[in-house]
Amino acid sequence: MKRYFITGTGTGIGKSYFSALFARKLKEEGQSVRYVKPVATGYPADDDAAFVADRAGLAPEDAVTLFTAAEPASPCFVFDPFPFEACVARLEALCQDRDAVIIESAGGLAVPLGVRRYNYQFALALGLETILVVPNRLGCLSDAIVYGHFALRHRLSLAAIALNDFFAESPGHAERNAAEIERQFPGKVGYRYAAALTGLPVQGA
């Protein structure tokens, strides 16, 4: 069984698009897949689990949101306190009966959930393989380097970087950004996609 943590350098950068494409890819390979959003704010107006289920063809029991809040804000502002241990226990239970489980963070890798609790700690607590989504645009090199080294410093298993080419100014800009991120993190640029623009399947390892 494989467990993946889909996170990124910020919010609104295409993590749910990637999660849907990745789930569909795994299903096409013959794997049973479950998607879980541990915490969702701005809910139900912003329902990532429903989006992923629709795009990836997942059954309702395989697209799950655990803790929700209506205000579109960082979890540290809307939970007092955030029930981290209970959330981890529920995630662990949901990981037991599928070939692959995709767990997507609310916002970026370092978003605070509460006092001394952060998104990245889900990956540590559950031994998840982290895929870092980076919008391929001006400024992405700094973001990728800072967040990539943050993940490694905190001993996350950084399985891959997924570049969202939807944001690229041009194909040339997209390629040179990708080449530099690959130089900084050899072998880690595993996926390229432009889901919001083309609906193309994920490309990569």
Amino acid at 60: P
- Given the structure tokens 């399947």, which residue do they identify? 201
Torsion 100-41-113-83 (CA) sign: negative
C-alpha triplet 171, 174, 175: angle, nearest 5°: 90
From the candidates 15, 25, 37, 188, give the one annotated as an active-site residue.
Answer: 37
What counts of helices (H) and strands (E) characterise the chain? Answer: 8, 10
- Smallest Cα–Cα separation from 15: which of 161, 137, 172? 161
Check if 37 is active-site: yes
- What CA–CA distance (Å, rounded) separates 34 from 177? 32
Q: Active-site residue numbers? A: 37
